[in-house]
Structure formats: C-alpha cells, structure tokens
Structure 1
C-alpha cells in the first residue's frame, strides 16, 4: 500500500490507435496499454510518471499532449516513429488490432526517471514492453532494482500477433508475474496463454509464483481477485451501453491501482475497477473516468449494482465486454 500522494512509475509503450469502422473515417486515439494506465491514474488524481518511447512525429506529439493534459509526467526516449495499431471494431464494438510496434528502451537508472527525492512507491509494467526485446531487458532490470522498495504491478495484456511462440511467451509472462506484487489479466489473456485451463486455476498458479494479489477480469461476468493468504473477492459487471471496448482493461487497472494505493480493501478495489471499465466502454476510445466521475457514479449506483441509466450517444445496451487495452 502507498500513500494517497505517492507517485506511480508506469513503464511501457505508447501507441497511436487508428480506429477503423465500416463506412466511417479513421480516428486516431492516443493509446498503448501502459500509457492508458498512466493516463487513467492521473485522471483519478494519482501522480503518474510514464517511461516510454515516442517518435518526433505528429502521432508522438498527439500522445504527449494527451498524457500531459491529465498531468502525466512523460519521460520518453526518442525513436524513429511512434508505434501504431490499426484498431478495427466489429458490430459489438469489440476491438481487433494490427500492430506496427517496436520496443528498444535503453538501460535506464531510476534516478533518470524520477527525482531522487521522489522515488516511486509503485511501478507498473505490462503489455508489449514487458516481453519484447531488446527493451524488455531494460524494463525488467529496472523492476529488479526497485523490487522490495516499490510495489510492483503487472498486466500481460496479451497481443497474440506480437507474442510469438506460445511456450516462450508463457515463460516471459511468468517471469514478470514472479517479479510482481499485484497481477491483473483478462480471461482472454489466460485463454491464449493456457488453453483449456480455468481462470481460477491459473490465478492460483500465479499466486504460487510470488504475487500477493491476482485479479482476473471476466468480461460480462465481472471480475474476481485472489490473494496469497487465501482471500477472495468478486465484483459483478456494470451494465452500460457500449461504444467500444478500447482501453477498458487499462481503466480497470488504473482504478484498481489507485484504490489499492489509497488503502482500500480488495472488494472496494474490484468495485471501483469494474465501474471505471464500464464508464470507459460507454464512450469511444481509451477515455477513462476522472475521480469526480467515478465517485459520482459509485455514489449513485442502485442496490443491484447498476449504474443509473443515462442517455447514450451510441452502442447497444449490454454489459461491458472485454477488458481490452
């Protein structure tokens, strides 16, 4: 647990999400799972620093402005061009990705990222940057140096098109799990990594590797979390009208981390996280709620856990779908 003002260092990729729908013009949204988590934390009032890579191009400038508008402090190594992903949305608003991404982060000392007087109380890593070489080695070296002095969280945010051989991907993911205190994954992540295994069984396996908490999102079935001490909590999904699922899992992660950093119990962490994800899928792009929005919705939820009905701008009435980043 960290204090309410403690900064979180997020390490990982920024991606320009080029959202493509049938018959409509392309829309460019700032994205990348770690960048979305940093933005979500800042929107919730949590000081956040993002260690990343950006190109000196229009997409890079767009992403930097977006992050800094929420208060994220961006520390970016320069690369030739900003990574991008074409995001195609199906009729349910579900996102499917085609990537143009590399990750080459050079070795970095913690003092180069945050002032020595303000060391990170928590470090979050995940997605492409945690398993893609050569930059993944720098990420893991940084985490290993800070382990025991900062709370480490990890979200594999599996992208099958970029993961390569499954067995090697599992090895890399499990190495990150073993370095972490808190791990979050979606049921879709787990289905790709461990075909045919129940999410609950994988959560128990991961807890045996070292984390104190493993949380799993289950799409329309909500989410659950288990602890190394045998604790268990569940949260139901929040019915909303879905615009798209881009960034839902990252909003879940940011809200969970913020609640955890503030000392909330496991049930409250899950409730805040599934509500933040629901608010995100109700509007286009990776657009997480502010602290005021999340607080207002939580205060106004009905006895059965639903968000009070509001007139939607688009989408079909349904529970939030997948926690895609």
Structure 2
C-alpha cells in the first residue's frame, strides 16, 4: 500500500485581517483533513491531494505550497485555462462566515479522466472524501468517483467519508440524501457531524445517525457534535468520547476536519476507536486556538501526543 489520499477541492482562502488587508492561503474541507494527516504521518508515507488544477499562477503556487509541505497531487489533471475556486472568510468572535466564488473551479473536473483518477487512488492504504467533494461534481462525475472508490476498496483500500452537508451546494435535499447514501455504500469509516445529519435526514439523536449509517453498511462511525461528546459506533459497540472544552476559542474553522484527520491517522496506527477519538478531540481543540484552518504541524503533533 502506498500511503493515503484525500479527494476534493482546495480553494484559495482570503482571511480577514485589520482594515483592508487580506491574507491569501489555501483551504477546503478535504484539504484541511489531508493537512492534519500529513502532519501526523511519518514523512516516508506518501500523501496526495487528488483534485484537478488550472495552469494559472495561483494554481502553480497552490501546488508548490502542497509540495513544500510533503503533499503531492498524484495523477490529478492540470487543465489549460482553468483556475482554483476562491472564498473569503470573516469572523464574528470565533464564529466564521464565508463568501464563495467557485462555479468554474478546476476541481469540478477532478473526475474528467477516469483512468487518471484510478491511478491516483490505486494501492492506497486510505482514501478520504466528503459530501462537498460530491456536491461540486456533475452527477455523471459523481458516479465515476464512487466507482473508482469502490474499485479501490475491493483492492484493499480503506475508504473514509464525511457527509459534510452544505445545502447551498445541492439542488435540493432529495439530491443530497441520494448521493450521501450512495457514498456510505462505499465507505468503511463515516465521520458525520450530527447537526448536519439532523438537517439532512431528520435524525433526532447521534445514535440515530450512527444506526442509520451502520444499516447502510458502514463498519465504523464517529459522530461529531461540537462541544458535546462524539459517539463512536463500531463492532466493539457504542462509546462516547468527551470533547475538549476551550474557554476562549480563537477561530473554529477546520475543527471538524482536523478531528477527522487525527482520528484516521490514529486508527491507521492501531489505536482503538475510542482512543482515536480522544486524540482527535485534543487536536481539534488545538486548532480552534489558532487562526485559520491550517494549524502549524508542530501544534497538531503536540496535541496528538507525538
């Protein structure tokens, strides 16, 4: 097995500073998770962000940023004339709000070449994707992606999925339910957030979320719930894992994504699900004490316990 991959869209991020000054960075739910996994994984383990990229200066800078931090792009296509999506983030206290410009982002074409996508996923120990990955694609491309993930799974790759429901990205709730349910059918691990699942499926408790996903065939489910305990459902039964409370969070951006990355790395390293969740909570707590979605590697490693 040749390492891990995350599939989705990494955008240009403008974060609000004082006055009219903005800071340019790179972020996106699946990239935030990959960032955490890269920080917590030995350097010799190959880590790749699978997407599609443009050939403009911003895309070149984005790929260079990945490479500087040990993250490749596998066989992701470089599309002439395409460019990355962009979003701006503003904070009210520690809570964030977003404005997006992504309708023609290159990442929407990440499944345009099924053979290249298959090469990017081939032989992985773990592949991670999300509901946002699905939402930015056309229906035919979603099918290509799920087929590629299913084939990788048959070859021994472990597939992890966070439904990460964002209503504005879907035509309606019926469409979102259909594709999230289809994605659960190819997943070994699900990492949902309870308020998202309540909004999309009407779940009344985290237990209902976990049970629905287990019925869909997922062997292991970790239901995140903000400052409330996470619920872990696996063959070992149900366990709750208390969140780490932070008295004065600085920026909640990327907390759930970093939880996912830390949880998955801990499981790959042999931790039991409840042990992995405890480490993931510590990492998420550290992330919300710094600005931006991408905490320094040393911050992540220290919280994880390395």
Q: Could you tell me which residue of structure 2 aligns to residue 84 of structure 1?
A: 86
Name the CA shift for 1:214/1:196 in 2 (closer, same or farther; >3 Å): closer
Q: 1:147-199: CA deviations, max 9, x gaps?
A: 23111100122222112201110111111112100000112321321246222
Size of the alignment, in residue pairs? 292
The 8 Å contact of residues 89 and 96 in structure 1, kept in 2 or not, is answered as: no
TM (normalized to structure 2)? 0.85
1:251-266 equivalent positions in 2, closer than 5 A: 251-266=258-273
Provide the C-alpha distance between the structure 2 equivalents of 1:222 and 1:95, rounded to a whole number of angstroms. 25
Root-mean-square deviation (CA, aligned residues, Å) is 2.5
Q: Which runs of 5+ in 1 are unaligned?
A: 301-325
Provide the C-alpha distance between the structure 1 equivalents of 2:77 and 2:187, rounded to a whole number of angstroms. 25
Q: Which runs of 5+ in 2 are unaligned?
A: none
The 8 Å contact of residues 13 and 89 in structure 2, kept in 1 or not, is answered as: yes
SS of equivalent residue, structure 1 residue 17: strand
Residue from 184, 190, 207 that aligns with 2:214: 207
Provide the C-alpha distance between the structure 2 equivalents of 1:12 and 1:153, rounded to a whole number of angstroms. 13
Provide the C-alpha distance between the structure 2 equivalents of 1:174 and 1:191, rounded to a whole number of angstroms. 14
TM (normalized to structure 1)? 0.81
SS of equivalent residue, structure 1 residue 49: strand
The 8 Å contact of residues 230 and 242 in structure 2, kept in 1 or not, is answered as: yes
Q: Could you tell me which residue of structure 2 aligns to residue 100 of structure 1?
A: 102
Q: Could you tell me which residue of structure 2 aligns to residue 51 of structure 1?
A: 50
The 8 Å contact of residues 95 and 244 in structure 1, kept in 2 or not, is answered as: no
Residue from 230, 255, 261 that aligns with 1:223: 230
1:76-225 equivalent positions in 2, closer than 5 A: 76-79=76-79, 80-101=82-103, 102=105, 103-105=108-110, 106-109=112-115, 112-113=119-120, 119-131=123-135, 132-133=137-138, 134-148=140-154, 149-195=156-202, 197-225=204-232
Name the CA shift for 1:88/1:127 in 2 (closer, same or farther; >3 Å): farther
Q: 1:102-134: CA deviations, max 9, x gaps?
A: 4122133366326x7xx2111111132224215
Between 78-87 and 96-105, report the one with greater CA deviation. 96-105
